């Protein structure tokens, strides 16, 4: 049994309100990979290539470096305080209850919207593959498939965390296997082994057709594709030996994500013209079509469905654990604290997915309006979350070193502190500045900031009423 000194409010907790450390290190690693490898890579990467041409690689390198830096920060914070509250708990420790409340609820709202969008996106793609009928049987409308997907993964998230982790491990493993196969095919095409393609790197002759503006616009597209890596911090609260497991997962996930993203995009820009990359079937399918592989478009579309469903599964998990953590801190209804006999916060799961069910039905009634509006509001949330991670890591690291001079306070630490920490902040500020020059992203960013401010105002009243202490310690597990 692993215990830590509890917060005052935790003295009243028992096994009916706690989760358990049931995740294995390999499951944690694959969850981190699966969370970041989704539609943003399989479908969205083509939009970046169309905007910037081969220079999109610069955008991916900058965004990849930022992801590695943020992951290192998350690793230090999670090793020092492994809790399902993750960056919400870290923000509370660094800046007080209002900060913890705001970050936690902002993240939950983002994931609740994204899960609905992922279910709807997967249903839309699958409907396109199947057509109106399959073997003479009418294919259900998109909204029905969306509800079915939400129902299936609600059930999956009701399993004990060890079973859930194994399910997500193999789900994410499928995506990783597809990317590796794609890289092999792409390399064979570039060296001229695949018939019908001359090979070579002639596409790089005009490296930056739209100049630095294209690189900046591409960066805004790319940065949001990397969202999902932060699930490692949330899952740390249910991982055996979290200090060691988180350190291993962070090191593994960080370099693999950069390799997968930059490697696949390199293949895409080397084989496709920018105008070809933003094909309706996605850049992966466009590359495989050039390779002459039969039914490449349908195959990759089906894989994109699996990618979206894997991300949907991971996001339901992350959102429910964040809501459970908020309830344990009295920032959500007390009933959500309770867990089932398998220590799963099922009420948090049900409340999370209920939003997706409602959104799917509303999207059917008002097509193209509900989810698009909601996504525009939470579209820049990942930037806010990463800024909170950076600010928390810098504040808490300085605090630990000031209170314990000369003592190595955590098993995993951000390297080259404080230089790399402040570099992370500088890169995040750069992205915000670039976003403000683009009308679409400026509107999205301002909407997210407004939503954040509204949550913070609510947090002022809620945290005063609950009178919670500033510090949130590691989860108590039975």
pLDDT given at position 97: 93
pLDDT at 250 over 50: yes
Would 7 be classed as within a structural domain? Answer: no
Question: Measured between alpha carbons, how far is 272 from 401 in angstroms, rounded to an integer?
Answer: 51
pLDDT given at position 39: 67
Would you tell me how many other CB atoms lie within 10 Å of the CB of residue 37?
27
pLDDT given at position 7: 41
Would 320 be classed as within a structural domain? Answer: yes
pLDDT given at position 289: 82
Q: What is the DSSP letter of 345?
A: -
Q: How many CA atoms lie within 13 A of 320 on its CB side?
A: 30
Highest mean pLDDT among 88-97, 119-128, 181-190: 88-97
pLDDT at 288 over 70: yes
Q: Give every CB contact of residue 354 below 8 A, 6+ residues apart in sequence.
A: none
Please give the residue that has the higher pLDDT: either 408 or 278: 278
Would 107 be classed as within a structural domain? Answer: yes
pLDDT given at position 194: 75
Highest mean pLDDT among 62-76, 120-134, 245-259: 62-76
Structure tokens at 98: 């209002």
Of 3-7, 157-161, 207-211, 330-334, which gets the smallest average pLDDT? 3-7
How many domains, in total, are found in the chain? 1
pLDDT at 2 over 60: no
Mean pLDDT of 346-374: 83
Mean pLDDT of 415-431: 91
Q: Please give the full DSSP string across 128-185, using - where no structure is assigned.
A: HHH-SEETTEEPPPHHHHHHHHHHHHHHHTTS-HHHHHHHHHHHHHHHHHHHHHHHHH
CB of 265 within 8 A of CB of 58? Answer: no
Q: Give 23's strand partners.
A: 239
Total-model pTM: 0.86
pLDDT at 12 over 60: no
Mean pLDDT of 98-118: 90
Question: 41-45, long-range: CB within 8 Å, 24+ apart, which pairs?
Answer: 41/179, 41/225, 41/260, 41/261, 41/264, 41/307, 42/282, 42/284, 42/300, 42/303, 42/304, 42/307, 43/282, 43/283, 43/304, 44/221, 44/225, 45/225, 45/261, 45/264, 45/265, 45/268, 45/277, 45/283
pLDDT given at position 4: 40
pLDDT given at position 151: 93
pLDDT at 6 over 50: no
Question: Confidence class of residue 293 from pLDDT cuts 50, 70 and 90?
Answer: confident
Highest mean pLDDT among 125-129, 299-303, 348-352, 438-442: 348-352
Would 95 be classed as within a structural domain? Answer: yes
- Interior angle at CA 323, CA 317 and CA 324, nearest 5: 90
Would 389 be classed as within a structural domain? Answer: yes
Would 371 be classed as within a structural domain? Answer: yes
pLDDT given at position 136: 64
Closest CA to 397 of 410, 382, 381: 410
Mean pLDDT of 162-185: 85
Please give the residue that has the higher pLDDT: either 449 or 121: 449
Q: What percent of the chain has pLDDT over 90?
A: 18
Here the CATH number for the domain that contains residue 251 is: 1.20.1740.10
Question: Measured between alpha carbons, how far is 133 from 390 in angstroms, rounded to an integer?
Answer: 50
pLDDT given at position 141: 83
Residues spanned by the domain of 278: 25-402+417-463
23, containing H or E segment: none
pLDDT given at position 17: 60
pLDDT given at position 393: 95
Of 19-28, 92-101, 294-303, 373-382, which gets the smallest average pLDDT? 19-28
For the chain, the C-alpha Rg in angstroms (whole number) is 22
Question: Measured between alpha carbons, how far is 49 from 58 in angstroms, rounded to an integer?
Answer: 11
Structure tokens at 366: 């008002």
Closest CA to 257 of 302, 227, 289: 227
Straight-line distance from the first to the last Cα atom of the chain, in angstroms, rounded to the nearest whole number: 6
Question: Confidence class of residue 390 from pLDDT cuts 50, 70 and 90?
Answer: very high
Question: Measured between alpha carbons, how far is 96 from 89 in angstroms, rounded to an integer?
Answer: 9
Question: Confidence class of residue 11 from pLDDT cuts 50, 70 and 90?
Answer: very low
Would 470 be classed as within a structural domain? Answer: no
pLDDT at 442 over 90: no
pLDDT in tens, 149-163: 999 999 999 988 888
pLDDT given at position 154: 93
Would 189 be classed as within a structural domain? Answer: yes
At 201, is the secondary structure helix, strand, or coil?
coil
Of 123-132, 158-167, 184-193, 380-389, which gets the smallest average pLDDT? 123-132
pLDDT at 392 over 60: yes
**Mean pLDDT, the chain, integer:** 81
Question: Confidence class of residue 426 from pLDDT cuts 50, 70 and 90?
Answer: very high
pLDDT at 14 over 60: no
Q: State residue 132 phi and psi, 5-degree precision.
A: -80, -25
**Sign of the CA dihedral 401, 407, 410, 413?**
positive
pLDDT at 452 over 80: yes
pLDDT given at position 450: 92
Q: Please give the full DSSP string across 244-277, using - where no structure is assigned.
A: HHHHHHHHHHHHHHHHHHHHHHHHHHHHS-HHHH
């Amino acid at each position: 049994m692993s215990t830590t000194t509890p917060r005052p409010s935790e003295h009243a907790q028992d096994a009916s309100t706690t989760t358990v450390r049931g995740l294995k290190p390999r499951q944690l690693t694959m969850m981190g990979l699966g969370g970041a490898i989704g539609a943003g890579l399989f479908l969205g990467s083509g939009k970046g290539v169309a905007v910037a041409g081969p220079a999109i690689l610069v955008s991916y390198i900058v965004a990849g470096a930022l992801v590695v830096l943020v992951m290192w920060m998350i690793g230090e914070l999670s090793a020092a305080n492994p809790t399902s509250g993750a960056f919400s708990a870290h923000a509370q420790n660094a800046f007080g209850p209002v900060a913890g409340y705001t970050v936690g609820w902002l993240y939950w709202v983002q994931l609740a919207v994204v899960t609905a969008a992922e279910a709807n996106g997967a249903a839309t793609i699958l409907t396109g593959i199947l057509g109106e009928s399959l073997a003479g049987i009418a294919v259900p409308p998109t909204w029905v498939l969306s509800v079915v997907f939400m129902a299936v993964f609600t059930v999956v998230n009701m399993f004990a965390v060890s079973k859930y982790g194994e399910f997500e491990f193999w789900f994410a493993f499928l995506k990783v296997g597809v990317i590796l196969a794609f890289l092999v095919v792409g390399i064979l095409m570039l060296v001229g082994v695949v018939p019908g393609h001359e090979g070579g790197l002639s596409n790089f002759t005009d490296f930056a057709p739209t100049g630095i503006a294209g690189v900046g616009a591409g960066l805004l597209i790319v940065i949001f594709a990397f969202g999902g890596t932060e699930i490692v911090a949330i899952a740390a609260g249910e991982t055996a030996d979290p200090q060691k497991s988180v350190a291993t997962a962070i090191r593994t996930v960080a370099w693999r994500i950069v390799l997968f993203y930059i490697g696949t995009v390199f293949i895409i820009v080397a084989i496709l013209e920018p105008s070809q990359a933003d094909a309706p079937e996605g850049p992966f399918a466009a590359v495989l079509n050039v390779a002459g592989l039969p039914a490449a478009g349908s195959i990759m579309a089906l894989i994109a469905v699996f990618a979206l469903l894997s991300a949907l599964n991971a996001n339901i998990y992350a959102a429910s654990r964040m809501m459970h953590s908020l309830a344990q801190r009295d920032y959500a209804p007390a009933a959500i604290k309770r867990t089932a006999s398998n220590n799963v916060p099922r009420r948090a799961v049900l409340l999370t997915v209920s939003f997706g069910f409602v959104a799917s039905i509303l999207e059917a009634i008002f097509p193209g309006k509900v989810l698009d509006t909601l996504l525009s509001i939470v579209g820049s949330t990942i930037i806010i979350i990463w800024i909170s991670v950076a600010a928390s890591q810098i504040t808490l690291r300085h605090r630990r070193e000031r209170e314990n001079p000369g003592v190595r306070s955590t098993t995993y630490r951000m390297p080259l502190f404080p230089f790399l920490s402040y570099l992370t902040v500088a890169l995040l500020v750069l992205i915000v500045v670039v976003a403000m020059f683009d009308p679409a992203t400026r509107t999205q960013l301002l909407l997210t900031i407004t939503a954040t401010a509204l949550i913070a105002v609510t947090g002022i009243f809620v945290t005063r009423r609950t009178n919670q202490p500033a510090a949130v310690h590691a989860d108590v597990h039975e």
